[in-house]
Amino acid sequence: MSLLLNSLVVSDPLSKYYNSCVNILISSDGKIDKISKKKINTKARKTIQFNSNKVSIGWIDFSANFCDPGFENKEDLESGIKLAINSGFTDVIIKHNTNPVIQTKNDISYIKNKSLNNFCRIHPIASTTKNSNGEQMNELMDLHNAGAIAFSDSNLQNTELILNILLYLKQFNGLYISKPKDIYLSNGLVNDGINSNILGLKSIPNISESIAIERDLSLLKYSGGRIHFSGISTKESVDLIRNAKKNGLNVTCDVPIYNLILDDNKILDFDTNFKVFPPLRSKSDMDELIKGLLDGTIDVISSNHEPQDIDSKKCEFEKASFGIISQQTFFSNLLEVSRKLPFEKLLEKITVNPRNILGISNPLIKEGSHASLTIFDEKGSWDYNEKTNLSKSMNSPWMNWSLRGEIIGVISGNKTNIS
């Protein structure tokens, strides 16, 4: 069916209609048939009237855990996709650390077949090693051909194996996603600083992250290839990656959205919803992350959506699991970050940049282009509570808050979740 969208303001600097209020006609084959600042006189099968809401190309979440298979009590592909769509995402990169981990062609097929839908594309990351134990390399070429978007590992510390993986991935320009942590320095609970000392909690120092980044950058310099550091959180990490880019290394990185707006003062009440990995760092770390976004050192902002069941969070801080559910609150959090940076600068971190890194073609707000759109209202607001929460889990520090910003819906082809 054809779809007519009236009165939308284009929030896409790459579009010639940037900052213009336009009407958009989408044809039955899902392509943008016409964009006009004037009324489009046609009998569309469905017409939606907006009130100068913003529209951009579809958002992509670089790092989310949908817990399927193995932990479906926390989230599953069905609930995750519904959550993603209603959070403004048309593409989601899902982590490999399910049970079993994503490591075979059948695992990729399971994800692909179970996530078939009209709105949101799911892209699985595959584990680089058998059972993600960091010891024996998986069949990376086969996984790539089966549809793995990139490769990562939870426990990989063997430098020779990392080097061999980088060399192997070069054969098909594959992407290695490093979760930077030294395992011996990362087995604490919170950021190493005055607050960890006050509370008497075992800490995770900044060096636990920077040592791993220095190691992987040295291997990258030797081998060539590509590395993406996912979930950086410290000023030292920003500086290392900034210098690596200046020196011509093919390196990119992302930061979890909550590390841009929350610091480790939040742990003082022992609220387990603020126990995350990477941990909430200091105010000076957060300020440097903002600078890294502005100067292009940090390429991507991710949700790092990590559902946990009630028993994993309603317990002593030491025993609680790490993680926040953060897709549904992502836009509201992004608006908080936009108090420090231009919103359009932030948009490229969730649209163009992640697709360029992953080799996914970027949609355009242009006649003849396939329609992949996110529509949002920066001036809107909504109440986040048990009734409005779309995740199967509840581990959010923003539960029972009134939040700024509202996702109106997404368009994929000629399909939409907007009534």
CA–CA separation, 329 and 118 (whole Å): 23
Rounded Cα gap, residues 107 and 126, in angstroms: 9
Q: Can you tell me the distance from the alpha carbon of 169 to that of 224, in angstroms, rounded to the nearest whole number?
A: 10
Nearest to 360 by CA among 143, 150, 211, 77: 150
8 Å CB contact between 256 and 302 = yes
Q: Dig out the tokens for 191 from the structure.
A: 């950021």
**What is this structure's pTM?**
0.97
Chain center to CA of 297:
17
Give the residue from 118, 120, 55 showing the smallest Cα distance to 365. 55
Q: Determine phi and psi for 280, rounding to 5 degrees.
A: -65, 130
Task: Show Cβ contacts of residue 207 under 8 Å, excluding neighbours closer than 6 positions.
Answer: 182, 185, 236
Show the tokens assigned to 46. 């469905």
Residue listed under structure tokens 């990995």: 277
pLDDT in tens, the chain (419 residues): 699 999 999 999 889 999 999 999 999 999 999 999 999 998 889 999 999 999 999 999 999 999 999 999 999 999 999 999 999 999 999 999 999 999 999 999 999 999 998 789 999 999 999 999 999 999 999 999 999 999 999 889 999 999 999 999 999 999 999 999 999 999 999 999 999 999 999 999 999 999 999 999 999 999 999 999 999 999 999 999 999 999 999 999 999 999 999 999 999 999 999 999 999 999 999 999 999 999 999 999 999 999 999 999 999 999 999 999 999 999 999 999 999 999 999 999 999 999 999 999 999 999 999 999 999 999 999 999 999 999 999 999 999 999 999 999 999 998 999 97
Strand partners for 219:
none
Take residue 373 and report the two structure tokens written for it. Answer: 């759109």
Residue 235 CA to residue 240 CA, distance in Å, equals 9
Whether the Cβ atoms of residue 120 and residue 85 lie closer than 8 Å to each other: yes
User: Looking at beta carbons, which pairs linking 339-348 to residues 24 or more positions away fall under 8 Å?
Assistant: 340/290, 341/290, 341/293, 341/294, 343/11, 343/378, 344/11, 344/13, 345/293, 345/294, 346/293, 346/301, 347/11, 347/12, 347/56, 348/13
Give Cα 97 to chain centroid, integer Å: 15
Nearest to 333 by CA among 318, 321, 349, 317: 349
